[in-house]
Structure 1
Amino acid sequence: MPDEREKFSLQEMVDHFDLSRVSLGGPIFDIEKLSWLNGQWLRELPVEEFASRLQTWALNPDYMMKIAPHVQGRVETFSQVAPLAGFFFAGGVTPDVKLFEHKKLSPDQVRQVMQLILWKLESLRQWEKERIMGSIQAVVEHLELKLRDAMPLMFAAITGQANSVSVTDAMEILGPDLTRFRLRQALDLLGGVSKKENKEWEKLLGAIA
């Protein structure tokens, strides 16, 4: 905004939009600042509207019906639902780094598997369970691994837990953006990917069917 305000309405943005002020550089998305800004708007809502929007966001019937079939057979009391399925209602998760310790794969191989799967998922045009599994399968087969070598890593990255509901079902329900975001978070937790690794692994990606 011309007056340097960081908080403004959509209409105010439209009214003051000036193409000459648009940077030609690559866009930078400051997640922390966006979260702070979102919090400013949330705290200004009337409490009734806040409660209504919360229900629409997390407790709407359509979303609950996607989750319920995967949870019902795994619980004995309703109090067990939140620990099992709480990750469905979060943006990011905070898995223990120990969940990524692998009996068969080195730490570098763990990051490689996860990065290759992330890239394969980013190329998906249709976000369906079968295609998600196909992407994972393509990576593990090319690396001469088994699904059981990769799936614990997916559980940790996507759910923040060692086990939960079917992780591919969870990925389908969470959607592509949140799934990819959590995989990136997990990779950052493990130290990220160097420029050299990125270049080498991109070549490897090109050979994966």
Structure 2
Amino acid sequence: GQWLRDLPVEEFASRLKTWALNPDYMMKIAPHVQGRVETFSQVAPLAGFFFAGGVTPDVKLFEHKKLSPEQVRQVIQLILWKLESLRQWEKDRIMGCIQAVVEHLELKLRDAMPLMFAAITGQANSVSVTDAMEILGPDLTRFRLRQALDLLGGVSKKENKEWEKLLGSIA
């Protein structure tokens, strides 16, 4: 961090522009944001999570009408494990992992997707969360899911053991 503070202001601004306004990265994000904003000032609140390492969702975003706190952690953990096995990081494959977990637990997508929005974007809603996961990439996506689990108190050794067995039976 010190090296950043030691840069001349012009060099800092130039490097920040290269990092934050990378044209290739912006082109991945722009199509998902453009149709959801009316002014440029709405872009940062909607898509700021694309430019952050981690997010800090409110724990209340993980409160669920149908699922207990344990079930919420279970859904997130199982999805995380399924995503860890992906060799090709594409939206359809990401969605396939989520659907496999949801179907095996006899839930509906609408039960799991709010949890994904909270963990990945730090918000209740935003751009398509599976598009966001694809753009963010596997490392950052998995990091944010682990962050969410930590926020929710983590997974006990007993839960971990039980859920690993359950994972083996998910297609």
TM-score, normalised with respect to structure 1 = 0.80
1:48 Cα deviation after fit = 2.3
1:49 Cα deviation after fit = 2.3
Range with greater deviation from structure 2 (40-49 or 165-174): 40-49
1:42 Cα deviation after fit = 1.6
Q: Which residue of 1 aligns with 2:20?
A: 58
Q: Find the residue that maps to 2:95 and give its secondary structure.
A: helix
Alignment: residue pair count: 171
Q: Within 2, Cα distance between the matches of 1:56 and 1:197?
A: 44
1:155 Cα deviation after fit = 0.2
1:39-58 Cα offsets, whole Å, 9 max, x none, are 12222223222222211211
1:95 Cα deviation after fit = 0.4
Of 139, 142, 147, which aligns to 1:185? 147
1:140 Cα deviation after fit = 0.4
Q: Which residue of 1 aligns with 2:85?
A: 123
Q: Within 2, Cα distance between the matches of 1:61 and 1:180?
A: 25
Q: Within 1, Cα distance between the matches of 2:156 and 2:71?
A: 13
Range with greater deviation from structure 2 (49-58 or 187-196): 49-58
1:52-83 Cα offsets, whole Å, 9 max, x none, are 22112110111111111001111111111111
Q: Within 2, Cα distance between the matches of 1:53 and 1:70?
A: 25
Q: Within 2, Cα distance between the matches of 1:175 and 1:56?
A: 19
Q: Within 2, Cα distance between the matches of 1:195 and 1:49?
A: 48
1:81-105 Cα offsets, whole Å, 9 max, x none, are 1111111111110000000000100
Q: Within 2, Cα distance between the matches of 1:111 and 1:203?
A: 16
Q: Find the residue that maps to 2:35 and give its secondary structure.
A: helix
1:141 Cα deviation after fit = 0.5
Q: Within 2, Cα distance between the matches of 1:134 and 1:176?
A: 15
Q: Within 2, Cα distance between the matches of 1:44 and 1:123?
A: 41
Q: Find the residue that maps to 2:145 and give its secondary structure.
A: helix
Q: Find the residue that maps to 1:83 and give its secondary structure.
A: helix
1:132 Cα deviation after fit = 0.3
Confirm whether residue 102 of structure 1 aligns to residue 64 of structure 2. Answer: yes
Q: Within 2, Cα distance between the matches of 1:122 and 1:111?
A: 16
Q: Find the residue that maps to 1:127 and give its secondary structure.
A: coil
Q: Within 2, Cα distance between the matches of 1:187 and 1:53?
A: 33
Q: Within 2, Cα distance between the matches of 1:175 and 1:62?
A: 14
Q: Within 2, Cα distance between the matches of 1:174 and 1:69?
A: 15
Q: Which residue of 2 aligns with 1:144?
A: 106
* RMSD, aligned α-carbons: 0.8
- Which consecutive segments of 4 or more residues in structure 1 shift more than 3 A? none
Identity %: 96
1:100-155 Cα offsets, whole Å, 9 max, x none, are 00010000000000000000111110100000000000000100111110000000
Q: Find the residue that maps to 2:93 and give its secondary structure.
A: helix
Query: Which runs of no fewer than 5 residues in structure 2 stay unpaired?
Result: none
Q: Within 2, Cα distance between the matches of 1:89 and 1:183?
A: 17
Larger Rg: 1
